[in-house]
């Protein structure tokens, strides 16, 4: 079975595209560099190659076009006729012919110019010969532009033609427009043909497939045919006529007995009679559609007569096939595609009749004899007249009956759910079918976790027993445990304890101080003790420490004092008066004034410094007071002052932008 | 719902806590909190990390072998539900807990025993060595007992005179 597939034809380029393709290919695939200093034979060869290459490409491409397009005489007459109807055979042949001539002419051109190139004597001459050759070839192709465009159109249309196998079992549906052919087609096959109220909805042939008795049947839907003389028919109608003429199929002639297609039965009958010549040797069936609107019995006399005439014609085809002479059931059928009443019957009848016809023909042909000899159907001869039906044991029959009954009686969980309020309201009790020792225990809830333990880990049938054992053990253990702990002597006395506590305290203090000193050592200058600015190392302190150890400090204090005072007495013996004046001031002031200390101590804020802006310390004190008063309210209200930190830019660019030269930037 | 044990510290992981890590060999590691998880990721051995149960058991700080541990064991065969059994189990859990706690306490006291003598020796030594911090050696010679000296601060004459002048 040859599948007519016109989808495999390569695309036909337009003339300009064609030329561009070939020329660019020549440019790419042949060497491009040439200088006039080369040997002449090399120059000639260079240009000859280009000409020949171009000619070769043209030849190849045009040949493919010519070969791929089907020759109308070589294909099945159905397709030949169809293509003729659609595209006009002559036009088609002319186009292909033009391409063929062009191909030959290009060959000639190339041959001529190659001959000339053999005698080219300079680069320029060879080059201009090549240019001329290529130019002529391209002009030839430019002249083909019409044909090429036409062929491309045809190719696109052909690719969309339905793939109808002319040799297989086919049902052909024909009739007036709008009688219901396409709806019938939709009903019996999976083809989705357009069904619309206007005439000529179907404009071309459509194929669908249906099955009957394990065989596949093609169903072809045709556009409607009007009753016109043959010459006046348009392309669309000619398609159907072609199909009718060439395909060896069963024909279903559709009749709209309700007249809702817009044509009366008389018109349809007239059509029938005009094309009945096409129904030769084909099992014909008259199908009366739209019986939902008008049943066959309700037809008028005249209409009925017409229908009967048609039926008579159809009968002829039946008789002609060597079937039963009076088999009129499969000839005239009624159906309604809207209510789907009788559709399957029509299909089955049509398929059946077609099948019978095909079988008959096969039987009559010579080929069958080759096959017949090869198989033999063996039928066992009946031994006696006893009937032997299938044997089914009684138990199985009973079980089947019971199952059937059960299926109806059993109440499913879903029914239960629906009764009790639906999916959201009712939740099925999963514990319903539990098998427990006591029925009351079914709905019990057991905690899974208790006091940080999994209860499931503890469940054990003999847990009681083991628990008892454990308790016994425990009891025995407690009895044993009542021994006294050894009490060693040599506990510390309270004094010793005090001493120990003091020792420990002292030790921890030392450690703390050391730690503080260590941590501040980096930022603190290590100054020898004589520059003791914070007045830590006083004699009083020394006295305290010594006496805490139990020693008498007075001697040590005097010694320390004498050494510090001695210096003053040596230097200024006449300053004894100054010393008396100074006794009014406190000791602290004395110390601050004394020149034996280091000079780098800061001054108290109320001290009068000449040249600093105040005339005396009283004024300075007042100024300080004023200043303090002015900020007191602000401070009390916890408001921000001048010295409070202000961040001028919240997002300084240098912190928020830029990549790091080394490292990651996932923190800013 | 099950309470699991943290792989690192062996504490219970309650539902909704912690992270489970499944390794390519299908072994599941459960962690109670990110501390354990991070320690695991650092490849630390829980037997060497002081605060985990694994360490404590290994080094004898906590009770290891006891019959109370046998009660809590994952059983793979499900038992048919029995209300009495369930009741008894729930009560038993509490008792077993109490027993275990008592036994653990006993273990601890046993561990702590025998430390007293050592402690006393240490204290005596510390006293002997450190007494010089709170009592000067000369004073110690005069008075060999371990009583602390009383603190006496002597105020100098001059200063007392000056203070009197200020007051007036």
Give tens-digit pLDDT for B66-112.
Answer: 888 988 888 888 889 999 999 999 999 999 999 999 999 999 998 98
pLDDT confidence of residue A73: 84
Q: Which residues of A touch B92 (CB under 8 A)?
A: 458, 463-464, 467
Q: Which residues of A touch B74 (CB under 8 A)?
A: 454, 457
Q: With 50 as the cut, is the pLDDT of residue A615 above it?
A: yes
pLDDT above 90 coverage of chain A, percent: 25
Q: With 50 as the cut, is the pLDDT of residue B160 above it?
A: no
If asked whether residues B15 and B57 sit together in one domain, one would say yes
If asked whether residues B46 and B80 sit together in one domain, one would say no
Give A341 or B47, the one with higher predicted confidence.
B47
pLDDT confidence of residue A412: 84
Q: Find the closest chain B residue to A554 by CA distance.
A: B154
If asked whether residues B49 and B95 sit together in one domain, one would say no
- Report the C-alpha gap between A31 and A43 in whole angstroms: 11
If asked whether residues A146 and A75 sit together in one domain, one would say yes
Domain count, chain B: 2
Q: Find the closest chain A residue to B1 by CA distance.
A: A448
Closest to A148 (Cα-Cα) out of A72, A64, A79, A23 = A64
If asked whether residues A261 and A316 sit together in one domain, one would say yes
If asked whether residues A203 and A249 sit together in one domain, one would say yes
Residue B87 sits in which domain range? 75-129
Q: How far is CA A343 from the centre of its chain?
A: 43
Q: Which residues of A touch B111 (CB under 8 A)?
A: none
Q: With 50 as the cut, is the pLDDT of residue A576 above it?
A: no
Which of B83, B88, B153 has the CB atom closest to A441's CB atom? B83
To 10 degrees, what angle do helices A15-29 and A145-159 make? 100
Domain membership of residue A301 (yes or no) is yes
pLDDT per position as a tens digit, A280-291: 788 888 888 888
Domain membership of residue B135 (yes or no) is no
- Report the C-alpha gap between A44 and A29 in whole angstroms: 17
Taking only Cα atoms into account, the Rg of chain A, rounded to an integer number of angstroms, comes to 61
Q: A117 Cβ partners below 8 Å, 6+ apart?
A: A44, A47, A48, A51, A126, A129, A130
pLDDT confidence of residue A489: 64
Q: Find the closest chain A residue to B69 by CA distance.
A: A458
If asked whether residues B79 and B114 sit together in one domain, one would say yes
If asked whether residues B15 and B46 sit together in one domain, one would say yes
Question: Chains A and B: how many Cβ contacts under 8 Å?
Answer: 173
- Report the C-alpha gap between A180 and A197 in whole angstroms: 10
ipTM over 0.90: no
- Please indicate whether, in this complex, the C-beta atoms of B139 and A549 are within 8 angstroms of each other: yes
Closest to A205 (Cα-Cα) out of A308, A304, A96, A83 = A83
Domain count, chain A: 2
Q: A63 Cβ partners below 8 Å, 6+ apart?
A: A103
- Please indicate whether, in this complex, the C-beta atoms of A470 and B2 are within 8 angstroms of each other: no
Domain membership of residue A391 (yes or no) is no
Domain membership of residue B16 (yes or no) is yes
Q: With 80 as the cut, is the pLDDT of residue A12 above it?
A: yes
- Please indicate whether, in this complex, the C-beta atoms of A437 and B80 are within 8 angstroms of each other: yes
Q: With 80 as the cut, is the pLDDT of residue B138 above it?
A: yes
Specify the CATH number for the domain of residue A154. 1.20.120.1190
- Please indicate whether, in this complex, the C-beta atoms of B81 and A441 are within 8 angstroms of each other: yes
pLDDT confidence of residue A582: 46
If asked whether residues A44 and A154 sit together in one domain, one would say yes
Domain membership of residue B40 (yes or no) is yes
If asked whether residues A176 and A149 sit together in one domain, one would say no
pLDDT confidence of residue B18: 96
Q: With 60 as the cut, is the pLDDT of residue A265 above it?
A: yes
Residue-by-residue DSSP string for A49-65: HHHHHHHHHHHHHHHHH
Which of B1, B92, B124 has the CB atom closest to A458's CB atom? B92
Domain membership of residue B33 (yes or no) is yes
Give A266 or A323, the one with higher predicted confidence.
A266
Q: With 60 as the cut, is the pLDDT of residue A577 above it?
A: no
Domain membership of residue A28 (yes or no) is yes
- Please indicate whether, in this complex, the C-beta atoms of B92 and A464 are within 8 angstroms of each other: yes
Up-side HSE of residue A339: CA atoms within 13 Å toward CB?
A: 12
pLDDT per position as a tens digit, A187-245: 888 888 888 888 888 888 888 999 988 999 999 888 888 888 888 888 888 888 888 88
Task: Name the DSSP letter for residue A438.
Answer: S
Closest to A509 (Cα-Cα) out of A548, A543, A553 = A548
Q: With 80 as the cut, is the pLDDT of residue B146 above it?
A: no
If asked whether residues B28 and B84 sit together in one domain, one would say no
Cα dihedral sign, A354-A358-A364-A368: negative
The residue out of A332, A365, A398 marking a domain boundary is: A365
Domain membership of residue A385 (yes or no) is no
The residue out of A126, A160, A194 marking a domain boundary is: A160
Q: Which residues of B touch A472 (CB under 8 A)?
A: none
pLDDT per position as a tens digit, B1-18: 899 999 999 999 999 999
**Phi, psi (rounded to 5 degrees) for A522:** -65, -40
pLDDT per position as a tens digit, A153-196: 999 988 888 888 888 889 988 888 888 888 888 888 888 888 88
Say if CB A353 and CB A281 are below 8 A apart.
no
- Please indicate whether, in this complex, the C-beta atoms of A557 and B135 are within 8 angstroms of each other: no
Q: Find the closest chain A residue to B88 by CA distance.
A: A464
Domain membership of residue A220 (yes or no) is yes
- Please indicate whether, in this complex, the C-beta atoms of A507 and B135 are within 8 angstroms of each other: no
The residue out of B10, B40, B62 marking a domain boundary is: B62
If asked whether residues B49 and B88 sit together in one domain, one would say no
Which of B92, B133, B151 has the CB atom closest to A467's CB atom? B92
Specify the CATH number for the domain of residue A250. 3.40.50.300
Q: With 50 as the cut, is the pLDDT of residue B168 above it?
A: no
pLDDT confidence of residue A320: 56
Across A587-605, average pLDDT: 61
pLDDT confidence of residue A451: 92
If asked whether residues A123 and A203 sit together in one domain, one would say no
Which of B71, B147, B156 has the CB atom closest to A458's CB atom? B71
- Please indicate whether, in this complex, the C-beta atoms of B134 and A474 are within 8 angstroms of each other: no
If asked whether residues B55 and B79 sit together in one domain, one would say no
Say how many C-beta atoms besides its own lie within 10 A of residue A237's C-beta.
Answer: 20
- Please indicate whether, in this complex, the C-beta atoms of B88 and A461 are within 8 angstroms of each other: no
Across A570-594, average pLDDT: 52
pLDDT band of A600, cuts 50, 70, 90: low
Which of B89, B99, B127 has the CB atom closest to A459's CB atom? B89
pLDDT confidence of residue A517: 87
Q: Give the best residue of B10, B67, B68, B81 to mutate against chain A (max A CB count within 10 A).
A: B81
pLDDT per position as a tens digit, A55-79: 999 999 999 999 999 888 888 888 8
Q: Would the pTM of this model clear 0.80, i.e. be above it?
A: no
Q: Which residues of B touch A461 (CB under 8 A)?
A: 79, 85
If asked whether residues A26 and A106 sit together in one domain, one would say yes
The residue out of A99, A132, A160 marking a domain boundary is: A160
Domain membership of residue B158 (yes or no) is no
If asked whether residues A205 and A155 sit together in one domain, one would say no
If asked whether residues A126 and A255 sit together in one domain, one would say no
Q: Tokens in use for A148?
A: 């090429």
- Report the C-alpha gap between A390 and A394 in whole angstroms: 12
pLDDT confidence of residue A190: 87
Domain membership of residue A453 (yes or no) is no
Domain membership of residue B27 (yes or no) is yes
pLDDT confidence of residue A636: 83
If asked whether residues A301 and A154 sit together in one domain, one would say no
State the smallest CA–CA distance between residue B101 and chain A in angstroms: 12
Q: Find the closest chain B residue to A500 by CA distance.
A: B127
Q: A582 Cβ partners below 8 Å, 6+ apart?
A: A589, A590, A593
pLDDT per position as a tens digit, A92-142: 999 999 999 999 999 999 999 999 999 989 999 999 999 999 999 999 999
Q: With 60 as the cut, is the pLDDT of residue B164 above it?
A: no
pLDDT per position as a tens digit, A279-331: 878 888 888 888 888 787 888 888 888 888 888 877 877 665 555 544 566 67
Q: Find the closest chain B residue to A441 by CA distance.
A: B83
If asked whether residues A151 and A177 sit together in one domain, one would say no
If asked whether residues A91 and A133 sit together in one domain, one would say yes
Say if CB B58 and CB B65 are below 8 A apart.
no
Q: With 60 as the cut, is the pLDDT of residue A526 above it?
A: yes
Domain membership of residue B26 (yes or no) is yes
- Per the prediction, chain A carries an average pLDDT of 84
Q: A151 Cβ partners below 8 Å, 6+ apart?
A: A12, A65, A69, A95, A96, A99
Which of A456, A486, A547 has the CB atom closest to B151's CB atom? A547
- Report the C-alpha gap between B32 and B11 in whole angstroms: 7
Q: Find the closest chain A residue to B81 by CA distance.
A: A436
Residue-by-residue DSSP string for A188-237: HSS------SSTT---S-EEEEEEETTEEEEEEE-----S--GGG--HHH
pLDDT per position as a tens digit, A461-518: 888 899 999 889 888 888 876 655 556 567 778 888 888 999 999 999 999 999 998 8
Taking only Cα atoms into account, the Rg of chain B, rounded to an integer number of angstroms, comes to 31
Q: With 70 as the cut, is the pLDDT of residue A90 above it?
A: yes
DSSP reduced 3-state for A7:
helix
Q: Which residues of A touch B75 (CB under 8 A)?
A: 456-457, 459-460
Q: For Cα atoms A156, A158, A164, give the angle at the middle one, nearest 5 degrees.
A: 145
pLDDT confidence of residue B166: 47
Give A579 or B74, the one with higher predicted confidence.
B74
State the smallest CA–CA distance between residue A481 and chain B in angstroms: 9
Say if CB A253 and CB A284 are below 8 A apart.
yes
Which of A464, A495, A549 has the CB atom closest to B146's CB atom? A495
pLDDT confidence of residue A319: 60
Label residue A385 left, alpha or beta by phi (over 0 means left) and psi (-120 to 50 means alpha): alpha
Across B148-168, average pLDDT: 55
If asked whether residues B16 and B41 sit together in one domain, one would say yes
Say how many C-beta atoms besides its own lie within 10 A of residue A2's C-beta.
Answer: 9
Closest to A272 (Cα-Cα) out of A260, A258, A288 = A288
Domain membership of residue A186 (yes or no) is yes
Residue A228 sits in which domain range? 170-365
Specify the CATH number for the domain of residue B27. 2.30.170.20
Q: Which of A123-137, A452-466, A550-564, B136-150 has the lowest mean pLDDT?
A: B136-150
Domain membership of residue A404 (yes or no) is no
Cβ-in-10-Å burial (0-12, 13-18, 19+) of B74 comes to exposed
- Please indicate whether, in this complex, the C-beta atoms of A436 and B138 are within 8 angstroms of each other: no
Across A343-367, average pLDDT: 85
pLDDT above 70 coverage of chain A, percent: 90
pLDDT confidence of residue B45: 97
If asked whether residues B82 and B110 sit together in one domain, one would say yes
- Please indicate whether, in this complex, the C-beta atoms of A488 and B113 are within 8 angstroms of each other: no
pLDDT confidence of residue A115: 94
Domain membership of residue B143 (yes or no) is no
DSSP reduced 3-state for A170:
strand
- Please indicate whether, in this complex, the C-beta atoms of A548 and B149 are within 8 angstroms of each other: yes
């Amino acid at each position: 079975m040859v599948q007519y597939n016109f989808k495999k034809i390569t695309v036909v380029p337009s003339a300009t595209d064609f030329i561009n393709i070939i020329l660019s290919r020549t440019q790419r695939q042949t060497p491009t560099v040439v200088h006039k200093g080369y040997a002449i034979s090399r120059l000639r060869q260079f240009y000859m190659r280009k000409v020949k290459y171009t000619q070769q490409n043209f030849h190849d491409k045009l040949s493919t076009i010519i070969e791929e397009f089907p020759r109308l005489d070589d294909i099945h007459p159905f397709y030949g006729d169809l293509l003729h109807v659609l595209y006009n055979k002559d036009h088609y042949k002319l186009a292909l012919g033009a391409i063929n001539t062009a191909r030959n002419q290009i060959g000639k051109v190339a041959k001529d110019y190659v001959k000339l190139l053999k005698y080219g004597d300079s680069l320029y001459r060879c080059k201009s010969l090549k240019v001329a050759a290529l130019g002529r070839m391209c002009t030839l192709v430019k002249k083909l532009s019409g044909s090429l465009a036409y062929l491309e159109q045809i190719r696109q249309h052909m690719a969309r033609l339905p793939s109808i196998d002319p040799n297989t079992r086919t049902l052909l549906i024909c009739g007036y427009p709008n009688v219901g052919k396409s709806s019938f087609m939709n009903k019996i096959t999976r083809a989705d043909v357009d069904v619309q109220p206007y005439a000529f909805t179907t404009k071309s042939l459509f194929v669908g497939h249906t099955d009957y008795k394990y065989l596949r049947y093609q169903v072809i839907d045709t556009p409607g045919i009007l009753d016109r003389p043959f010459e006046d028919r348009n392309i669309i109608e000619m398609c159907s006529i072609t199909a009718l003429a060439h395909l060896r199929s069963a024909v279903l002639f559709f009749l709209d007995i309700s007249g809702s297609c817009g044509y009366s039965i008389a018109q349809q009958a007239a059509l029938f009679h005009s094309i009945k010549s096409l129904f030769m040797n084909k099992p014909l069936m008259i199908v009366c559609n739209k019986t939902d609107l008008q049943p066959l019995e309700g037809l008028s006399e005249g209409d009925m007569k017409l229908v009967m005439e048609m039926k008579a014609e159809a009968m002829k085809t039946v008789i002609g096939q060597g079937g039963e002479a009076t088999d009129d059931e499969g000839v005239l059928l009624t159906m309604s595609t809207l209510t789907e009443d009788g559709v399957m019957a029509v299909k089955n009848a049509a398929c059946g009749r077609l099948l019978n016809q095909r079988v008959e023909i096969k039987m009559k042909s010579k080929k069958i004899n080759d096959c017949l000899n090869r198989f033999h159907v063996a039928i066992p001869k009946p031994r006696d007249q006893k009937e032997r039906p299938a044997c089914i044991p009684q138990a199985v029959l009973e079980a089947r009956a019971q199952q059937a009954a059960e299926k109806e009686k059993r109440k499913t969980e879903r029914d239960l759910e629906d009764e009790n309020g639906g999916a959201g309201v009712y939740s099925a009790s999963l514990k319903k079918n539990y098998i427990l020792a006591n029925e009351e225990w079914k709905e019990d809830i057991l905690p899974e976790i208790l006091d940080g333990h999994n209860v499931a880990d503890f469940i054990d049938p003999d847990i009681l027993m083991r628990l008892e054992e454990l308790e016994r053990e425990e009891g025995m253990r407690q009895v044993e445990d009542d021994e006294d702990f050894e009490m060693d002597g040599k506990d510390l006395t309270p004094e010793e304890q005090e001493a120990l506590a003091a020792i420990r305290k002292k030790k921890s203090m030392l450690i703390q101080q050391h730690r503080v000193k260590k941590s501040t050592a980096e930022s603190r200058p290590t100054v020898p003790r004589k520059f003791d600015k914070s007045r830590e190392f006083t004699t009083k302190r020394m006295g305290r420490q010594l006496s805490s150890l139990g020693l008498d400090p007075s001697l040590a204090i005097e010694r320390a004092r004498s050494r510090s005072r001695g210096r003053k007495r040596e230097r200024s013996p006449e300053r004894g008066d100054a010393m008396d004046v100074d006794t009014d001031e406190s000791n602290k002031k004395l110390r601050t004034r004394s020149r034996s200390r280091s000079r780098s101590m800061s001054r108290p804020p109320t001290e009068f410094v000449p040249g600093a802006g105040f005339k005396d310390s009283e004024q300075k004190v007042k100024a300080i007071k004023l200043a303090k008063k002015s900020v007191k309210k602000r401070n009390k209200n916890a408001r921000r002052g001048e010295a409070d930190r202000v961040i001028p830019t919240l997002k300084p660019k240098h912190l928020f932008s830029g990549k790091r030269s080394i490292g990651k930037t996932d923190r800013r | 719902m099950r309470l699991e044990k943290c792989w690192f510290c062996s504490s219970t992981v309650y539902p909704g806590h912690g992270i489970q890590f499944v390794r390519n060999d299908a072994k599941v590691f459960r962690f109670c909190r990110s501390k354990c998880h991070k320690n695991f990721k650092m490849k630390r051995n829980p037997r060497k990390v002081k605060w985990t149960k694994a360490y404590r058991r290994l080094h004898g700080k906590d009770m290891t072998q006891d019959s109370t541990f046998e009660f809590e064991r994952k059983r793979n065969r499900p038992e048919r539900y029995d209300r009495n059994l369930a009741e008894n189990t729930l009560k038993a859990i509490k008792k077993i807990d109490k027993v275990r706690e008592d036994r653990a306490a006993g273990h601890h006291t046993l561990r702590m025993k025998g430390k007293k003598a050592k402690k006393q020796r240490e204290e005596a030594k510390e006293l002997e060595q450190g007494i010089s911090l709170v009592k000067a050696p000369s004073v110690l010679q005069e008075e060999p007992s371990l009583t602390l000296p009383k603190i006496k601060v002597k105020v100098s004459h001059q200063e007392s005179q000056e203070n009197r002048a200020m007051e007036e």
